[in-house]
Structure 1
């Protein structure tokens, strides 16, 4: 699967125990996302566009309206080390 550097970075944070909180607009669509590391810091690389790509590829999932976390497919797709380019 072809995963960009930013998607890889977000997946790496999620694999280490991070999560993505989302907010809905008045139409019920996801309007804003914040990616938190396991230490509680916000990852600025996680934009709404990156979130949508990860969700479309089924690399992240939300169960019972909880925050988004990495899926099993996402765990298998993430590299063991993030790109340091």
Structure 2
């Protein structure tokens, strides 16, 4: 399954320990969404459309009401990327 460059960046960030957190309104609709690195920094190029694409592809999932994290399927989708750490 092909994924875009931006989806690839998000999945790589999640594979390194990042998470996606949601804020919902009283009607249970998503009000705000953040993609956070493992250090707690917010990734700015993440929006609701990208979240829905990754969820539709089953690359991310939430368990027990916690933040969204990468799934095993998502790990298979992500390609190796050099990291300058």
* TM-score of the superposed pair, with normalisation by structure 2: 0.90
Q: Secondary structure in 2 aligned to 1:43?
A: coil
State the distance in 2 between where 1:49 and 1:25 align. 18
Which residues of structure 2 form unaligned runs of 5+? none
Find the aligned partners of 1:39 and 1:52 in 2 and give their Cα distance: 24
Q: Which moved more, 1:66-75 or 1:30-39?
A: 30-39
- CA deviations 1:23-55 (Å, max 9, x no partner) are 112321223210110111100121111011001
Distance in structure 2 (CA, Å) of the matches to 1:57 and 1:27: 25
Please list every run of 5 or more consecutive structure 1 residues that lacks an aligned counterpart in the other structure. none
Structure 1: 4+ residue segments shifted above 2 A? none
> Could you say what the CA RMSD is over the residues aligned between the two structures, in angstroms?
1.2
1:4-29 CA-to-partner distances (Å, cap 9, x unmatched) read: 11111100000000000001123212
Counterpart check, 1:20 vs 2:24: no
Bigger relative contact order, structure 1 or 2 (CA pairs below 8 A, ≥6 apart): 1
